[in-house]
Amino acid sequence: MPEVNWLAVIAAALSMFVIGGVWYSPLLFDKAWRRAANLSDEDVARGNPPVIFGLAFVLCLIMAANLAFFVAGPEVTLGFAVGAAVAAGLGWAALSVGVLTLFERRPLSYFLINGGYLTIGFAVMGLILGLWR
């Protein structure tokens, strides 16, 4: 089993979580994402934010740990770590959202917003994991 820097995993997970917070905020794509996801203000207000955000962070930790196992090892270069992360973010995560977008009959903007977040978030996680060994 490759040796993983768990502090780097936590930092990578935090980066994904923070990027999501900014990405889906009014600064960037909040209104467009809500429109594409067909979410009203009332829909967003329902739910339990501490549970939602807590579980979202746990999922970010799992994603970061999973990625860390792929890019761990002394022979792995920074370029490989970032490239593998972009491939995972775009090639697996974002395109999976694309498939769901088609079957859920969501607009293209739904795919672009969510897929963009995943691709950029994974790239940053790969950068952190590649730099911090």
Q: Give the type of residue at 73.
A: G
Produce one character per residue of 81-95: b if its CB has 16 or more CB atoms within 10 Å, e if not. Answer: bbebbbebbbeebbb
Residue 35 belongs to a domain: yes
pTM for the structure as a whole: 0.95
Segment 111-125, tens digit of pLDDT? 999 999 999 999 999
Q: For the chain, how many structural domains are there in total?
A: 1
Residue 28 belongs to a domain: yes
Residue 68 belongs to a domain: yes
Segment 23-73, tens digit of pLDDT? 999 999 999 999 999 999 999 889 899 999 999 999 999 999 999 999 998
Contact 82, 127 (CB under 8 A): yes
Segment 55-64, tens digit of pLDDT? 999 999 999 9
Query: Above 80 in pLDDT, residue 2?
Result: no
Tokens 């994974």 belong to 122
Structural domain span for residue 17: 6-131
Q: How is residue 41 annotated by DSSP?
A: H
Q: Give the type of residue at 69.
A: F
